Amino acid sequence: MFTINPTPTFKLDVTIPSPTGGGKVGIIFKHKGRKALAEFVKSLTEEGSTRTDLDGLLEIIVGWDGVQEPFSKDGLEALLDNYPAAAKAIYDVYFPAVSEGTAARKN
């Protein structure tokens, strides 16, 4: 049965690009509804915003799978530092999932 109130978190696989071909990480994301998602995007993109990728990702990620280190702010910061394309890869999976659903992403 479909429920009006979505689960507060969901897990998706994200391929983190690397010079050796990348690796798959299961990321546990926080769900955001339409209004909260719009505010989140605005906070990232408005002129003069000083939010970093780390700040933004900490707002939407609650955990991960398939990484040797437990999820933490320091761990995420190391991931972003060591794999410069990681933030874009994560956002590229998250935004379509919350705005279009995972079925739309796979088609």
What share of the chain in percent tops pLDDT 70?
A: 94
46-94 confidence digits (pLDDT tens): 888 889 999 999 999 999 999 999 999 999 999 999 999 999 999 999 9
CA distance linking residue 106 with residue 63, whole number of Å: 23
The ranges assigned to domains in the chain are 9-100
Phi then psi for 64, rounded to 5 degrees?
-150, 165
CA distance linking residue 39 with residue 41, whole number of Å: 6
Supply the pTM of this predicted model.
0.88
Q: Is the pLDDT of residue 103 over 50?
A: no
Average the pLDDT over 90-106 and give the result. 79
